[in-house]
Amino acid sequence: MTHQKLLNAGLELAEGWPQLLAQAQSLANSFIAGGHGRRRAGVGDTFWQFRPAQQGDNLRDIDWRRTARGDDKFVRQNEWQAAQSIQFWVDGSASMQFFSSAESKHYRAACVSLALAILLTNAGERVGTVDGKLPTKQGRIQVEEMAKQFSLPTKDDFGSPEIDYFQSQSLAVFVSDFFGDITLLEKAVTAAANLGVSGVLLMILDPEEISFPFSGRTVFESMAGEIRHESQQAGGLKSKYQTILKNRQAILRALAKSVGWQFHCDTTGSSPADALIWLHRALEHRR
Amino acid sequence: MIIFEVLGITRPWLLLALILLPILWFVLRAIPPAPKIRRFPGVSLLLELKDNDIQPDKTPWWLLALRTIIIGVLIVGFAGPFLNPELIENKNTNLLIVMEGSWADAPNWNAQKKEVLQVVEKAKNSGQKVAFLQLTDPNQSLVFSAASDAQKKIQTAEPNAWLPSSGLERLLINLDSFDTYWIGSAVQWPMQSKFTEALLNKGNVKVSKSKVALFGLLPTSFTEQGIEVNGIRLKSKTAEQVSINVMGLDPSGVERNLQIAVLNFKAGMSQASQVIELPKEIRNRITRIIVMGQQSAVGVRIVGENNLRSEVAIISGDVAAREGLKLLSQEYYLAKALKPSHDLIDGTIEDILLANPDAIILADIAKVGAKVAMIDWIERGGTLIRFAGPSLAAKNHDLEKADALMPVKLRRGGRSLGGAMSWGSPKTLQPFKANTPFFGLPTPTEVKVTAQVLAQPSPNLATHVIARLSDGTPLVTQKPLGQGRVVLFHVTANTEWSNLPLSGLFVSMLDRLVSNSTSSSFEPVALIGTTWKLSQELNAFGNLKSVVDRVGIDGQVLVSGGIASKTPPGVYEREKLRWTRNLLQEDSEFKLPIWPSAVDLVGPSASQLQSLMALFLIIALALLGIDILTSLWLSGKFWGMGAAFAALFIFLSFAPGDARAELASDRSLTATRDVVLAYVRTGEVWQDEISSAGLLGLSLALNQRTSVEPAAPVGVSLGIDEISFYPFLYWPITSDQKALTADELQKLNRYLKGGGLILFDTKDANFSQFGQSTIEAQTLQKITVGLNLPPLSLIPQDHVLTRSFYLLQEFPGRHVGAAVWLEASSGRKNNTTETPFGNSNDGVTPVIIGGNDWASAWAIDSSGQPLLPVGTGFSGERQREIAMRFGINLIMHALTGNYKSDQVHIPALLDRLGK
């Protein structure tokens, strides 16, 4: 899957839903070009104050018009404006490559994430990835970089988000099947929450992973073949498996709740717009 | 071990393994079917789960049954089952193998050997001691020893061209009891029953009757029209046709096929005869008559050049007159010329006529006594040869009516040439015309005639002349009279009128005339005390081979002994005499052998031991295939691998069986639309592939380098395909090609006559020189025996083949240096001048014969790379290139006819025109 294709899919998803786009536009309008006034001097467009020039100020920073009115030299300062940063983690592990129907979980995850990223960029937000390879930036080019990043799957069976590159006060979007080690996820979520990051967990599952339509003597292998489980009568495992899956979802929901995040489960069998709408709603409250 | 009388088992103890089958059943049951393997990301959630039920999935019972059957079939297969086991109740420890090995066995000698070897192999397995006896073998000994010794003996055994002799039973006298396996031949021999009795006294006798259609040739008789060929065969209820090949010398002395005839055996008849019409001159050149396609001495009749020594009487007119000059007399010259190969009779004319000689020579006798008796003798087939002389010239012929003893009417007086008083110079001879008795004899230029008698000019004079002087006047004339003839030499038999009697031509001319006389009966009395030496031996397969260093045999022994090991058939010689001895006499007939009822007759097919091991293993393999497919299906993988297997299976079973299914019309269409190089299918797949690849390579090279653009080469089967479309035929010789049928011969002869070119390739690099020949060369001889091939010569240095496209000096293929033969060029020029439009070959040699294995050098694979290595390194590649150039030259030669050879003269012609 080339990143271009992925990007196009994301674009389509984003643009194919006018109400979504309209919502995004209205959302965007409620912010001033995505910038949030921080009520102190900094990088921004709006005038904040003149202050006397101090040693170390650049010559070019001096506002000559104001300085000409008096004897002192003044420096013009603008109000610091910062856009909201949203960091994405799209699980690219082998487990996400599984598919029983038309598209794999990873494709769905990447597609929904990109659509969201496009909407957010349109709204002037900064987007990036959790792993630190793409620090948050604005603009379409950043979205394309992300698409490139998503189309590189990893070799591991199961994935977990990196914990070292969270931006404080940003938003985090974790998209995965969360079949990996739950403690690693817990660690990451906690680390993020400690930095004031709030976010969402989006679980993507294949329909077969929910219905478990297997029977007979079967050896189950993880996608990279690292884990095997042999069952003499796979049919008998169905109900047990489904219970465990429900437990896992409950654990994830509890984890999200404990740090004020949100959790949602989506399947590749349903429409991708559902997930997108949910994601957008979930983030709306956070920004 | 033998089961049900039809099935035997080589290793019965292996069948014990069948007991394991029930155990196997349980073991197989215990092993569950192979699990399906699924990729499933949720496996991490499954890890801590346990199955509800430990009992695994079961292998279906029918799959178990299938596998058990497979193992069972394998066990039975490896136990070595075979059909038609020998049912010998009380086997003797000794086994005698009897082969007759006579000419009657030669046609299927190899099959007989194979059968016997099988029997010996069986005896070897059962530990019997074996002795081998070939009844026609002159050195016989009977020792029972290990079977392998007998095998060696059998492998080297060759049939002989005579029947077993009597008294063979004495070999058996001092032996203990033994069983006998006897390959009976198709023809009974004398004293056979006695030998059979003796064998039956010693033990069981099993006889394998050979079934072979055998045709023999009885002595031929000469008739007015030609020769009568008489054939015999074994009694049969069906009508049969047999092709007969009459071989003889052509004018240049090369033995070739003169005529093909067919003997029609009517249903129920064992004899047939056919008159082959042949001119008398050709009749005298016949050497052999052969039954085509039958490799047996009995189907070959050697016809002697001088079967009998003819008797000649010389009567001279000038005996008393000039006694002192005897060494100059005509009689002396005649006697000198005739004595070495003919018997001379002395006496008066009346006495001589009573002796009934083959020819009478009258030297310058004008008035013949006992004229009526003489005419009577001539009409019964005598040849009267007269020589001219002074007295004949002096006779006044005008006064008489036509003389019956003169071929032509003479003018009075002779004429002399080149003398002091004459204008003309001595005359030489014109070449002899065809249809004269002297045709083919050389006419030396030093023979000059200074005087002759002249014939009266008359309208029918020309029909009588059989030799002329250079000015057209007759030198020899002849006239048929009854069955005989009168011949007149218009010169003397001494040197007075010409120097003809001094030349070798004189002897040859007399020989031809005298030998033409009809044969009289053969007198055994004349053979007493004579010693004959075998010069050419006819072997059992019907091939005539020269032999040297044989002990002389008394003539009487030859007559009384018949054909036996000491006196084999063939050509015997004594001094200058030839005596041909053939197998069959006038009254010979083929009798089927009569076997006593005590003999156990087995057909050759019934005793065939047929191993079923392969069959069982193939069945097991097929079942295994089914097992694989069902297992795949069970584990849900059928639509991947299984479908591929199944597709392969179906493809193999429905693959197009025969590429020859293409329509003949399509073939002829491509063959006539484009130039197509063709090769003869040999029946050996690898050879046909190489031929095809070779011609493909050559076609490609022609395409790239010349304006000849051939289509893809085709293989032709002579019996089926039309070959006249193809300008060039490549014919590799493999060792087991069969002789041609009459139809194929006719087709090929028509092809050669119509301008085709055949390249025979023995591929043996003429490896065995020095008079030996390889198997391929022998096969080539066998194949070409009926073809109308021209005289061949080694390829001359200036032949057009060396320059028709490239300039070449040698003609390598995969081998280098083997001689290349093609049509000799000398005879061709004469023909073209005589019949300017009769030469459809246009100067192209109809055949090229070599052994350089050209196709292998030309052969390329589908990617255009050379298929087979030639030589080594760079020089090898050079050799391949030269081989390719030879091929291009060859095709150029075949396609352009004499155009290329005429191009050589263009500069000279232009030069001359310029002047």
Contact residues on chain B for A243, CB-CB shorter than 8 A: none
Domain definitions of chain B by residue range: 2-34+55-84+615-652, 94-211+595-608, 311-515, 660-903
Convert B532-571 to b/e letters by CB count within 10 Å (16 or more is b).
Answer: bbbbbbbbbbbebeeeeeeeebbbeebeeebbbeebbbbb
Q: DSSP label at B325?
A: G
B interface mutation test: which of A217, A221, A241, A246 has the most B CBs within 10 A?
A217
CATH T-level assignment (fold) for domain B311-515: Rossmann fold (3.40.50)
> What Rg value do the Cα atoms of chain B yield, rounded?
38
Helix (H) / strand (E) containing B630: helix B613-634
On whether any CB of chain B is under 8 Å from the CB of A249, the answer is: no
Q: How far apart are CA B555 and CA A208, in angstroms?
A: 108
- d(CA B140, CA B119) in angstroms, rounded, equals 21
**In chain A, how many domains are there?**
2
Each residue of A215-269: pLDDT tens digit?
Answer: 777 888 888 878 888 877 777 788 888 888 999 999 999 999 998 888 999 888 8
Contacts of A179 by beta carbon, 8 Å cutoff, 6+ apart: A95, A158, A248, B41, B42, B44, B45
Q: Contact A237/B46, CB-based, under 8 Å?
A: yes
Of B518, B236, B556, B508, give the one whose Cα is nearest residue B378: B518
d(CA A169, CA B896): 97
According to the model, what pLDDT value does residue B695 have?
A: 93
- Residue bearing tokens 């050589």: B904
Same domain, A52 and A20: no
**Among B143, B135, B50, which Cα is nearest to B98's?**
B135
Quote the minimal CA–CA distance from B649 to chain A in Å: 29
For an interface test with B, the pick among A220, A233, A246 (most B C-beta atoms closer than 10 Å) comes out as A220
Q: Contact, B678 vs B748, CB < 8 A?
A: no
Residue given tokens 């022994």 in the structure block: B557
Interatomic CA distance for residues B303 and B226, integer angstroms: 14
Question: Residue B150, exposed/middle/buried by CB under 10 A (0-12, 13-18, 19+)?
Answer: buried
Residue range B799-813, pLDDT digits in tens: 888 888 899 888 888
Query: Within this chain, do residues A164 and A240 fall inside the same structural domain, yes or no?
Result: yes
| pLDDT at A26 (0 to 100) | 45
- The pLDDT, as a whole number, for residue A136 is 85
Q: Is A203 on the interface with B (CB under 8 A)?
A: no
Q: Answer yes or no: do A72 and A156 share one domain.
A: no
85-124 in chain A: CB under 8 A from chain B: 94-96, 98, 105
Chain A residue with the nearest C-alpha to that of B59: A217
Query: What is the C-alpha separation between B614 and B174, in angstroms, rounded?
Result: 45
Contact (CB, 8 A) for B239 and B272? no
Whether residue B272 has pLDDT greater than 70: yes
pLDDT tens per residue across all 287 residues of chain A: 567 777 777 777 766 444 444 444 444 344 333 445 556 666 667 788 888 888 888 888 888 998 899 888 898 887 766 677 888 998 888 888 888 877 888 888 888 888 888 888 877 788 888 888 888 888 878 888 888 888 777 778 888 888 888 888 788 899 998 888 888 889 999 988 888 888 899 999 998 888 888 877 788 888 887 888 887 777 778 888 888 899 999 999 999 999 888 899 988 888 888 888 888 888 776 55
Distance from C-alpha of B228 to C-alpha of B272, rounded to nearest angstrom:
10
**Closest among B449, B456, B500 to B477, alpha carbons compared:** B456
Residue with tokens 């008083």: B421
Q: Phi first, then psi: what are they for B683, rounded to 5°?
A: 95, -15
Contact in structure between B820 and B809 (CB atoms under 8 Å): no
Residues A23 and A122 in one domain: yes
Looking only at Cα atoms, what is the longest distance across chain B?
A: 146
Chain A positions in Cβ-Cβ contact with residue B41 (cut-off 8 Å):
94-96, 98, 105, 177, 179, 206, 209, 222-223
Contacts A248 to B, Cβ<8 Å? 45
Question: Model confidence at B33, in pLDDT bands (50, 70, 90)?
Answer: low
Alpha-carbon gap: A140 to the closest alpha carbon of chain B (Å) = 34
pLDDT in tens, B485-498: 899 998 888 888 88
CB contact under 8 A, B41 and A236: no
- Angle of helix A3-15 relative to helix A18-30, nearest 10 degrees, comes to 80
| Distance, CA of B895 to CA of B886 (rounded, Å) | 14
- pLDDT for residue A137: 84
CA of B38 vs chain A CAs: smallest distance (Å): 5
Is residue B813 within 8 Å of residue B853, measured between CB atoms?
yes
Among the residues of chain A, which ranges form H helices?
A: 3-15, 18-30, 64-68, 105-122, 140-150, 182-194, 207-211, 238-258, 272-284
Which chain A positions have a beta carbon within 8 Å of B39's beta carbon?
A: 98, 220-223
**Cα atoms found within 13 Å of the Cα of residue A133, Cβ hemisphere only:** 12
The alpha-carbon radius of gyration of chain A (Å, integer) is 23
Contacts of B352 (CB under 8 A, 6+ apart): B313, B315, B345, B360
The boundaries of the domain holding residue A61 are 38-82
* Out of B35, B53, B54, closest to residue A218 by CB: B35
Q: Write down the pLDDT at residue A19.
A: 43
CATH class for the region spanning B660-903: alpha beta
Q: For residues B291 and B242, give the distance between their C-alpha atoms in angstroms, rounded to a whole number.
A: 7
The CATH number covering residue A220 comes to 3.40.50.410
- Mutation target vs B (from A106, A176, A232, A246; most B CBs, 10 A cutoff): A232
Interface contact flag, B55 A232, Cβ < 8 Å: yes
Residues A189 and A262 in one domain: yes
What is the SS3 assignment for B215?
strand
Closest chain B residue by Cα to residue A181? B44
* Sheet hosting strand B847-850, strand order edge to edge: B711-716, B676-680, B728-732, B757-761, B847-850, B821-823, B792-794
Q: Is the Cβ–Cβ distance between B556 and B562 less than 8 Å?
A: no
Using alpha carbons, select from B712, B765, B719, B758 the residue that is nearest to residue B739.
B719
Burial pattern B742-776, b for ≥16 Cβ within 10 A else e, equals bebbebbbebbeebbbbbbbbbbbbeeeeeebbeb
Q: Do B41 and A227 touch (CB under 8 A)?
A: no
CA distance A204 to chain B (A): 12
Nearest CA in chain B to A96: B41
Q: Tell me what percent of the residues of chain B surpass a pLDDT of 70.
A: 83
Q: Which of A200, A179, A202 is nearest to A266 (CA)?
A: A202
Hey, are the CB atoms on B55 and A95 less than 8 Å from each other?
no
Q: Does A216 touch chain B (CB under 8 A)?
A: yes
Strand bridging mode B410-416 / B451-455? antiparallel
What homologous superfamily does CATH list for B94-211+595-608? von Willebrand factor, type A domain (3.40.50.410)
A71 and A105 in a common domain: no
Contact B39 A217 (CB under 8 A): no
> B718-753 pLDDT, tens per residue?
888 888 888 899 999 888 787 788 888 888 888 888
Beta strands in B668-746 (DSSP E): 676-680, 711-716, 728-732
Residues 37-56 on A with a CB inside 8 Å of B are none
Name which of B43, B53, B59 to mutate to probe chain A: the one with the most chain A Cβ atoms within 10 A of its Cβ.
B43
Q: Check CB contact under 8 Å for A220 and B38.
A: yes
Tell me which chain A residue has its CA closest to the CA of residue B55.
Answer: A232
Q: Is the dihedral of CA B498, B502, B506, B510 positive or negative?
A: positive
Q: How far apart are CA A237 and CA B881, in angstroms?
A: 75
The least confident of B32-41, B468-477, B638-647, B860-869 is B638-647
CA distance B656 to chain A (A): 41
What's the mean pLDDT in B252-264? Answer: 78
Mean pLDDT of chain B: 79
Average the pLDDT over B531-543 and give the result.
Answer: 84
Q: Which of B32, B44, B57 sits opposite A222 (nearest CB)?
A: B44
Angle formed by the axes of helices B147-156 and B109-125, nearest 10°: 170
Are residues A60 and A186 part of one domain? Answer: no
pLDDT digit string (tens) for B308-355? 457 788 887 665 555 567 777 888 888 888 877 677 877 788 888 887
Pairing of strands B240-249, B255-265: antiparallel
One domain for residues A129 and A262: yes
User: Per the CB < 8 Å rule, is A232 touching B56?
Assistant: yes
Does A185 lie in the same domain as A75? no
> Quick check: A232 and B32 CB within 8 A?
yes
Give the chain B residue whose CA is nearest to the CA of A244: B45
Query: Length of chain A, please?
Result: 287
Nearest beta carbon to residue A237 from set B32, B49, B56: B49
- Predicted TM-score (pTM) of the model is 0.41
Find residue B38's DSSP bridge partners. A220
- Residue B54 and residue A177: Cβ atoms within 8 Å? no
Cβ–Cβ < 8 Å for B271, B280: no
Beta strand ranges found along B456-543 (DSSP E): 465-468, 474-481, 484-489, 531-538
In chain A, residues with a C-beta closer than 8 Å to the C-beta of B36 are 216-219
Q: What is the mean pLDDT of residues B701-723?
A: 88
Top mean pLDDT of B90-104, B345-359, B463-477, B770-784 is at B463-477
Same domain? For A161 and A71 the reply is no
3-class DSSP state of B553: strand
Residues in chain A with CB shorter than 8 Å from the CB of B37 are: 218-219, 221
Q: Based on the domain organization, do A173 and A74 belong to the same domain?
A: no
Q: For residue B899, give the nearest of B811, B800, B826 by alpha carbon.
A: B800
Measured in degrees and rounded to the nearest 5, phi and psi for residue B464 equal -90, -20
CA distance to partner chain A, nearest, from residue B60 (Å)? 13
From A153's Cα to the closest Cα of chain B, the distance in A is: 15
Band (B889; pLDDT cuts 50, 70, 90): very high
Considering the domain architecture, whether residues A72 and A181 belong to the same structural domain is answered as: no
What the block records as the tokens of B905 is 């003269």
Taking the C-alpha atoms of residue B334 and residue B289, their distance in angstroms, rounded to an integer, is 34
Q: Is the pLDDT of residue B306 over 50?
A: no
